[in-house]
């Protein structure tokens, strides 16, 4: 039985997503990946509306059986507030469509994909490429991160 998993890497400027399908063959393949970008020149409320609307569209398009999201990681206070606001919109949209996401910390994602919780970004991207049998590392980085979150949910099922 096929299972569709949507991985989300929340951000205000860029929200990364990766949609995969996993079948009985114990192999995952890519449905799609990409980003939702919000222009920096817009007011924050307008940027959040873009995230809200585009995430609804993504959920309608891919009809995931499971949604996985990266937990908020505090590294720069100025950026953390904006990411938290974007993440709040993501959680609102998921609640509106009746989806309870699974959440993973950055270290859990790195551990699941590379076997090492402190792996660098390139090692994670290489693991995504290998696991999904892709010809090249997905770009932009936020989209690759969305795929990494989706794969983590698949591995941790």
Is 141 catalytic? The answer is no
Is 142 catalytic? The answer is yes
* Per annotation, catalytic residue among 9, 54, 131, 145: 9
Give the Å distances, CA to CA, from 147 to 82, 101, 128. Answer: 22, 15, 7
Is 2 catalytic? The answer is no
Q: Which residues are registered as beta bridge partners of 8?
A: 17, 69
Give the Å distances, CA to CA, from 46 to 37, 51, 88, 109, 140. Answer: 12, 9, 15, 31, 23
* Per annotation, catalytic residue among 54, 131, 142, 145: 142
Q: Which residues of 20-39 are buried (b: 16+ CB within 10 A; e: fewer)?
A: bbbeeeeebebbebbbbbbe
* Per annotation, catalytic residue among 54, 70, 131, 145: 70
Residues annotated as catalytic (active site), given as ranges:
9, 70, 142
């Amino acid at each position: 039985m096929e299972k569709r998993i949507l991985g989300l890497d929340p951000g205000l400027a860029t929200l990364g997503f990766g949609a995969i399908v996993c079948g009985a063959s114990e192999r995952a393949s890519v449905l799609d990946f990409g980003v939702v970008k919000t222009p920096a020149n817009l007011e924050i409320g307008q940027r959040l509306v873009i995230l809200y609307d585009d995430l609804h569209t993504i959920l309608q398009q891919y009809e995931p059986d499971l949604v996985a999201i990266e937990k908020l990681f505090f590294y720069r206070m100025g950026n953390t507030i904006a990411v938290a606001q974007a993440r709040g919109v993501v959680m609102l949209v998921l609640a509106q469509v009746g989806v309870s996401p699974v959440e993973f910390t950055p270290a859990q994602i790195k551990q699941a994909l590379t076997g090492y919780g402190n792996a660098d970004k390139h090692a994670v991207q290489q693991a995504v490429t290998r696991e999904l049998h892709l010809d090249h590392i997905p770009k932009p980085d936020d989209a690759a991160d969305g795929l990494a979150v989706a794969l983590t949910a698949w591995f941790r099922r």
